[in-house]
Amino acid sequence: MTILRTATTWLSVAWLLALVASAHAQGTAPTAREASSFLGGFLKETRVVYPLRVGAWEARGEHRYEEQELGASVRYAGAHKDRWIDLYFYPAGVLPETRLAEDIQSTLEGIRTTVGRPGGYSEIDIAPVTMRRFSVGRGKQKRSIKAGSTSMRLLRGDKAYSSAMVMLVMDLYYVKARFSAEESVLSRRQVQKQLDKFTAEVVRAITIRSTGECWMPPPIVQKSALVRDAPGQLIKTEKDGTLSAVAYADRVEALDATSPEAVVMQFLSMPLSGRHFPGCNAPEDMNPAVPADMRELRLEFNAPREGGRNQSTPLRMRRTEVS
């Protein structure tokens, strides 16, 4: 099998061939999704595999929030009972990288509004946000994740606290970490430095997989003959010198719709046609192996009832159709 025109993709051919048995019968491609909900539609299930230990920090518990758009959090504790790190995972959808800074500021503004409220802080001082990058993955799958980091001084009663927050978007999810300690124990700089290190290690270790209507492989259409170099072709393959499968933005044409060549074209064409969203997987690829030092957090989303709350907030820019 010869692939004509190289496509850069995170999908390995070996993984694609392993899916041949179940992936060739995908049905027709989805079109417009204006009526589809974000949760329960675009995203239906998520699997987060996270480490039980990060340096001196150990995962002690999970919390799933009643409002499903808030996702879940994991609390990490160390040797000191008076301090911990909370790690949050909640759905983001498809967002441009430039949106992160705006979302961080919105989150910090929410913290500022707690001043003067019962049980809140009497004073909050927040340092300017520092943008940085975390490296994740290896080899061809290596990528750089943009993140924002900041420190705070919080005053409640007669006690002052040093606090820090790191926030990023990866694989259709927000990942946010918070760490606070009494100012007499750790300075703002120390808290931020520890949290930055923790987050860098967590991001390298975690896996976030989701499925739903975000998974949009194009349909495979069987043809008796294929046209070489037809307008709109994205990628093509030949076998024994004969053109056997051709991918277009909305379909894959193949001499044999059930052939491995057709399925390879189906998946290799997804990044080229805007159908592939990093973090979205086929339903049959949603049960990753979980090593002994890791834990799997499962989230399932239900579509809102008729007349219920619209879960597609402005923070989530959904791709509504394939162009």
Q: Which range, of 69-73, 74-78, 271-275, averages the lowest pLDDT?
A: 271-275
* 183-216 as b/e: b if 16+ CB within 10 A: beebebeebbebbbebbbbbbebbbbbbbbbbbb
Topology annotation, domain 45-211: Protein Transport Mog1p; Chain A (3.40.1000)
Residue-wise pLDDT tens digits, 17-29: 333 333 333 333 3
Q: What gap in Å lies between CA 64 and CA 95, rounded to an integer?
A: 23
* pLDDT > 90? residue 163: yes
What pLDDT score was predicted for residue 36?
A: 60
Show me where the domains of the chain are located. Answer: 2-36+218-273, 45-211
pLDDT band at 310 (very low <50, low <70, confident <90, very high): very low
Task: For residue 37, count other CB atoms closer than 10 A to its CB.
Answer: 22
- Please provide residue 72's backbone torsions phi and psi, each rounded to the nearest 5 degrees: -150, 165
Residue-wise pLDDT tens digits, 96-126: 888 999 999 999 999 999 898 888 889 999 9
